[in-house]
Amino acid sequence: MLYNDQSSQKKKLDLAVVDMIALDLQPFTIVTDEGFKKLVSLLDPRYDLPSTYTLSGKLLNQRYTDIRNKLKEDMSGVEYVALTCDGWTSRATESYLTITCHFVSNHQLHAVVLSTKPLTNGINHTSENIAASIQEIIDEWEIDHKITSIVTDNAASMIKACELLKKKHFPCYAHMLNLVVQDNMKLIQPILKKCKDIVTFIKQSTSAMEIFKKEQNSEKPLKLIQECPTRWNSSYYMIERILKTNEAIGRTLLKVRKAPQPLSVDDVCVLTELVKVLDIFEEATKKISGSKYVTISLVIPVTMGLYNNVCKISTNMETEDGKKFIKGLIDSIITRLFPYENRTVAKIASLLDPRFKKEGFRIPANASAAINLLEFDMVSILKKKEEKKKTIEIQNQNVSSTPEKPGTSCALFAFLEERIDSKIKSLTADVIITKRQYLETINSDQDTDPLLYWKIAGHGLSPLEECAAKYLCIPATSVESERCFSTTGQIITERRSRLKAENVDKITFLHKNIRNH
């Protein structure tokens, strides 16, 4: 006998099927597949799988609404959030905008997806249309007053959209790192072309591929990696793999007809120098692109670290191509990355990271400017708290009608009220003391979690703890919204190119957020 629709077990199993669809990015039609139906029947003969119509309509909507309400409740107690957003085009040539939200709750960093929806006017990619689409999501989630920054790439339309929304814009640091390297890849195009030609030839030739595998003389032979023009690190991976397998590549090319010329000794010297410097950029890109730990405070110290290391390596460059390439990198770092030290968000975040504080800055004057900005923020927070406290007291006085205690004279202690009222004027002094107490202590170890630090030390450093929640929630990159592209690309396959936009949004939302609820 099958479970009836009101059975708690039936509801649990239906929920598990919806979660499987979202987590594993399975098509709704899996419930009609013979193998899956047979498996479910063996596991529980009493369970009757829902139809694709019930699954994609009622059950998906219920699960989405449930998780959305829980997330909205969680975010209602959060004072500060940051957003990332990016646009992309699906296989069905629909223009989507993905928005992610980042916030600190219980001294932990959270990254969630708010929306993956078509633009309000899908044909129009103007900044006004993008701004209207973002505002629609902001209003849905009721977070307009909480947003500290919006992180996007450097597209003019995105920057203008943030201006229209009157929100602080922060340019994606990973995107800028990519531009720094891409600026200079053209300087080494001849040798890059040699590498690409070799990889293309071996990948496209069955006989060459077989010889290449045998020549490696390994149980797990490596495969060559082709460059992707839009990602600098794909060139790095290609070069690194070529250097690891260069001997096998050389023997392979000599055994196959019409093969390109193997790399010369000079070529290998150039590639070896390139890998040394690109390795630093790869480390920086990985470090700055996380979503589960604080990244915004890394921007200024990472820039300084990149510059110092690239300058050191430049003194050991022997090839002309290597020298030309690394000089271009240094110039690009100065042009594209140094300006981050003048950005309010990055400056204050570095100060609030106990690992860096003032020592993470390249120019001491920028650290001093950041301290002034932080002081202003601290005073503002304390003033708001005082105003909120007074409002509550007035409300309590209006509600309460408790009579005065006998013998108490208001006039007798009038001087206290005057002094308390004037106390707000000394907030700046309190802020300076708190700030010094924090900045003058020894910096934390490099493996310290800054949010854990503020959890332990924050109570004695108010309002710095609140400032940390405000700024450290901001991601340094828009990578999280870009990651949704690959997820959604797996949802909108050729098999499911006609999937409704609202279901694309719900599945992406559940896929990214369901694990936390």
The answer to the question of residue 464 being in a domain is: no
CATH code, domain carrying 113 = 3.30.420
Give how far Cα 222 sits from Cα of 207, 215, 237, Å.
16, 11, 12
The residue among 49, 68, 87 that closes a domain is 68
The residue among 48, 68, 88 that closes a domain is 68
Residue 36, domain extent:
8-68
190 and 79, same domain (yes or no): no
| pLDDT attached to residue 413 | 74
How many CB atoms within 10 Å of residue 491? 22
Tokens standing for 474? 């901001």
| pLDDT attached to residue 364 | 94
Domain count, the chain: 3
94 and 158, same domain (yes or no): yes
192 and 333, same domain (yes or no): yes
159 and 196, same domain (yes or no): no
Residue 5 burial by Cβ neighbours in a 10 Å radius (0-12, 13-18, 19+): exposed
The answer to the question of residue 411 being in a domain is: no
| pLDDT attached to residue 210 | 94
164 and 224, same domain (yes or no): no
How far apart, in whole angstroms, are the C-alpha atoms of residue 132 and residue 157? 12
How far apart, in whole angstroms, are the C-alpha atoms of residue 141 and residue 100? 12
The answer to the question of residue 45 being in a domain is: yes
149 and 185, same domain (yes or no): no
39 and 88, same domain (yes or no): no
Q: Whose structure tokens read 């000089």?
A: 327
The answer to the question of residue 451 being in a domain is: no
Handedness of CA 27, 29, 31, 34 (dihedral sign): negative
How many CB atoms within 10 Å of residue 256? 16
The answer to the question of residue 221 being in a domain is: yes
219 and 338, same domain (yes or no): yes
145 and 54, same domain (yes or no): no
Give how far Cα 221 sits from Cα of 210, 245, 247, Å.
10, 9, 13
Cβ-proximal residues to 155 (8 Å cutoff; 6+ apart), any chain: none
Q: Whose structure tokens read 């480390």?
A: 283
238 and 159, same domain (yes or no): no
| pLDDT attached to residue 313 | 94
153 and 267, same domain (yes or no): no
Angle at 324 between CA 362 and CA 175, to 5 degrees: 55
pLDDT tens sequence for the chain (517 residues): 899 988 999 999 999 999 999 998 888 989 999 999 999 999 999 999 999 999 998 999 999 999 999 999 999 999 999 999 988 776 666 778 899 999 999 999 999 999 988 887 766 778 999 999 999 999 999 999 999 999 999 889 999 999 999 999 999 999 999 999 999 998 999 999 999 999 999 999 999 999 999 999 888 999 999 988 777 888 999 999 999 999 999 999 999 988 999 999 999 999 999 999 999 999 999 999 988 999 999 999 999 999 999 999 999 999 999 999 999 999 999 999 999 999 999 999 999 999 999 999 999 999 999 999 999 999 888 888 877 777 776 777 766 555 554 544 567 777 777 776 666 556 788 888 899 999 999 999 999 999 999 999 888 888 999 999 999 999 999 998 888 766 665 565 545 556 788 888 899 899 999 987 7
269 and 283, same domain (yes or no): yes
pTM for the structure as a whole: 0.88
Which helix (H) or strand (E) segment is 111 a member of?
strand 108-118
> 88 by DSSP, 3-state: which?
strand
The answer to the question of residue 242 being in a domain is: yes
The answer to the question of residue 288 being in a domain is: yes
The residue among 342, 372, 391 that closes a domain is 342
The answer to the question of residue 382 being in a domain is: no
| pLDDT attached to residue 385 | 81
